[in-house]
Amino acid sequence: MGKAAWIYAMAQTGVPTAPTICLTRQAWESLKTADVGSPMAAHWVATLFKLVQKGQLPPKLVVRTAAHTHLAGLARVRGAIEAPAKDIDAIDVKKPLGRAIQRAFDSYQVGSPVWADDSGANPKDDQIVIVQAAFDQPVVQMQTRDTNSGLMGPIAPSGDRALPESFTSAAGQELCAAVDRLAGTHMICLAALAGRKVVFLSARPVQAPISAILEAACDRVARGVWTPRQAVGQVDPGRLPQLLHARLKSKKRASPLAVGMGVSPGAASGAIVFTAEDAARYQARGKDCILVSLETGPADIEGMQAANGILTARGGITSHAAVIARVTGKPCVSGVRSLVIDSEKGTVQLGERTLPQGAELTIDGNSGEVFAGALPLMQPNIGGALGKLLDWADGSRTIEVRTNVETIEGAKTALSFGAEGIGLARSEHMFFSAERMVALRRMMFSQDLEDRVEALHGLVEYQANDYAQLFTQMEGRPITVRLFDPPLHEFLPRSQDEVEETAASLGLKISDFERRLERLIEVNPMLGHRGCRLAISHPEILEMQIKALVAGGNAAIQTNDVPVNLEIMVPFVSSSREVSWVRSHILALMEQLGMSPSETFKYSVGTMIELPRAAIRAGEIAKHVDFFSFGTNDLTQTTFGISRDDAPAFLAAYQRKKLYDGDPFVTIDKKGVGELIRTAIRRGRASNPDLKIGICGEHAGDPESLKFFAGLNVDYVSCSPFRIPIARLALAQAAI
């Protein structure tokens, strides 16, 4: 709503309002060229006379613009303007009133934001200048609500003197309440005294932190201004992460060394470290650190969890670093092209600055900025208002919200945010500890079935224990476990130390081991030997996982008396025959282990739709599964033919040239990827009416994408733990 509309709306509510004229640019351009005796000029003069109160002399005038900022010099000419002595003075741009009006319209330069249009568009026809009668008493600015606490005003804006008592009286409170009722957001009002009345002049929105916005929303419900349903609809879900993560107190005196992509929200400071081992050592000593790397991989996960934040030279919004950072709630900045690491010298270059390992660094995962030194941080304060709003949201929401996790800690965090299950448990991520990685590599490098089975036997115990903890933690809520899906290159030894360690564990000479290593290296591992292909080519790996799942489930039931609701998900399928083969082997293994679905141990088999062919052949695939879960990260990659880690190199140029509307890895591409999902759901449910549908990619935490998914009638979405509040609120708004 624009300033002129605020004034009109306030007058309609009966609040004392200053006499006001709203003049459009189109009318002003016509007036400037009109003859003084023309009907239009006469009408303008007559309108100005309406500002004169009965029995009083013509007041001085003030001209207001709807632009956020004024051109230099406007303030000097727009106030305390004498009423035109002649008709011609009312339209002459050289006279005080005409000059002020012209300067006000000139404030609408290209790109200048206007209050009248929230879209950011600036059409000249919508530009309005306001002419008001001036008051003898000083004009006062007052906020309708405190921008820090959300409490009802009137209150002086930050930095201003306390309000005069006349404006904090019942009349001032009534004015603030009326503006708040009408606006439903924090506002700054201009008001003046006319006798004992507080008169409204104009208002504009003012920024407030999300904590204050939530408190204000709950207060409006308590006052009966809004219903809970209305409160849910008025809060921007995209701002909720500000509540859940630390942020910088101020950047006023700090200049960033470099800017990348903010891929996981929050801010963090700490000493520069280059390896996961160093990060773990810093954590053990109780010191803060930032893990700085070209890119991260599975072997870095322990270090990422130990670090306060992550900074990488490569990657984008769905890169390994970004995904793990969001799951663990760590700030992360990726795609910093000016970042150069010199491991030998132990230095990192950011732009023109070189910093040694151990130097303090601050990253802002919201803006993507990187600063030297440890800047002061503001810790999150969730408060009760968020919980209240999300409870109201759950009353309107029909789609279940689950979480994507790798660890027990992640599951605990997700439950605290209201997760209703696990939509994606990445089983391969459970191996990212030193001893487990050695065991996994023994399996990968084994030359024959007997050696591989022996290596796998040791992994069953690890996984069974993890699954038992996960089932216990979730207390019967659904848990979707994705079968082993490692792009093998992520698990191969990187450093010479790792090569020597793995070779020793296998009892091999380094030269023999390196030959085996060469045979495992793939040209394109993201489309290589992974997912269901691994289970089909090495059934013993599938057998290990099923045994671990059953053992973990039974342990949870027997030890902690909790039911198990297991959903086994087959990844990276492209045909119904693949799914059929894997499903039949899973069910046969279950039978061998003496399992059948029961009230205490439920299990089902589904698949991840993440390849275009799987989406197109969904009707055939659906006959062999109980559920679909769309892996939108890989589905976007394979549909566009874009690597999510390499996309930052050209994506910004594509967006600037309007070749893409946005980043398809952030907001779902409705016309391409979205159409594949829509088609797959339609075909899948046509052949299997009981088919459950879920979304488990990073898009499940994006408010705009969630609106789209809600329209597809999915059963659940699954996102990282810290995005669960966003999903709960956005899905409720979609339902409303």
pLDDT in tens, 572-630: 999 999 999 999 999 999 999 999 989 999 999 999 999 999 999 999 999 999 999 99
The pLDDT of 486-491, averaged and rounded, is 69
**According to the model, what pLDDT value does residue 433 have?**
64
Q: Where in the chain is the domain with CATH 3.50.30.10?
A: 246-378
Is residue 115 pLDDT above 50, yes or no?
no
Per-residue confidence at 118, pLDDT binned at 50, 70, 90? very low
Per-residue confidence at 70, pLDDT binned at 50, 70, 90? low
* Range scoring the smallest mean pLDDT among 153-162, 257-266, 326-335, 482-491: 482-491
Count the neighbouring beta carbons within 10 Å of the beta carbon of residue 466.
20
Strand partners, 499: none
Give me the count of residues in the chain: 736
- CB burial of 227-253 (b: ≥16 within 10 Å; e: otherwise) equals ebbebbbbbebebbbbbbbbbbeeeee
The pLDDT of 265-285, averaged and rounded, is 92
**According to the model, what pLDDT value does residue 445 have?**
78
Residue 554 is which amino acid? N
What is the tens place of the pLDDT at every residue in 305-343?
A: 899 999 999 988 878 899 889 888 899 999 999 999 998
More confident residue, 521 or 81: 81
What is the value of pTM for the model shown?
A: 0.84
What is the tens place of the pLDDT at every residue in 398-449?
A: 999 999 998 888 899 899 999 999 999 987 766 666 667 777 777 777 777 7
| CATH number of the domain located at residue range(s) 246-378 in this protein | 3.50.30.10
Catalytic residue among 22, 176, 332, 696: 696
Percent of the chain at pLDDT > 90 equals 50
The residues, ordered by sequence, that sit 6+ positions from 435 with a Cβ below 8 Å of its Cβ are none
The pLDDT of 82-99, averaged and rounded, is 86
289 is a catalytic site residue: no
- From the list 391, 383, 384, 406, the residue with the least C-alpha distance to 728 is 391
Catalytic residue among 186, 245, 320, 699: 320
More confident residue, 114 or 223: 223
Taking the CA of residue 269 as centre, how many other CA atoms within 13 Å lie in the half-sphere pointing to its CB? 14
Q: Where in the chain is the domain with CATH 3.20.20.60?
A: 397-486+530-735
Is residue 112 pLDDT above 50, yes or no?
no
Is residue 189 pLDDT above 60, yes or no?
yes
Report, at the CATH architecture level, how domain 397-486+530-735 is classified. Answer: Alpha-Beta Barrel (3.20)
Question: What value does the mean pLDDT of the chain take?
Answer: 88
Per-residue confidence at 636, pLDDT binned at 50, 70, 90? very high
**According to the model, what pLDDT value does residue 120 have?**
46
Residue 527 is which amino acid? L
320 is a catalytic site residue: yes
